[in-house]
Amino acid sequence: MMYKDTDITVVMIQESFPDVAASIVAAAAVSPSISAESLRESHPDIVAAFMNEGRSEASIEVAAAVEADRERVLTIQAMARPGYENIISAAVADSGTTPDQVKIQLFDAMQGTTASAHALHKEDGKELGTTLAQLSGGSAEGGEEAIPADVQAEDSMEAAGKKSRGEK
């Protein structure tokens, strides 16, 4: 029997040629097993091209990463200030520390140093004020020491007496 192209369908093949249908289904169910080893054996030129491309891209990425870290280290080292070497050396050693983070750490450390110096100067100023007041006969709070009432009365009478006599 002769078939036209339009007569051939899946159902027709399954009904008329069950063995052919079964072999088509079995062949479609088998997937080829592809592994790195099978590709190396069957297509060594393609595997070599992929390997070279990967190495080239990795080399470019490594060079970019090295340059970026070099720039990071140079930027951090440019921020070095006497007395803050420990912050700089820790930041250079930790590749995750950014220059912006170092700026914040340095600012905080400098603020702490300034606050400590201010507190020390304030304490020194109080001590100096007390010493000067004692040397000049005043009080530590400023002004004159409290004069007892009897001394004030005596001074007042003496001043009144000088005034009545016309003395200055």
* Mean pLDDT, each 10-residue run in order, the chain (168 residues): 74 86 82 82 91 91 94 94 92 93 93 81 76 65 63 81 80
Report pLDDT for 148.
73
Report pLDDT for 90.
94
For the chain, give every domain's residue range: 1-31
Q: What is this structure's pTM?
A: 0.45
Report pLDDT for 141.
54
Report pLDDT for 35.
85
Cβ-count burial 1-19 (b if 16+ within 10 Å, e if not): eeeeeeeeeeeeeeeeeee
Is residue 74 within 8 A of residue 102, CB to CB? The reply is no
90 Cβ contact partners less than 8 Å away, ≥ 6 residues apart: 97
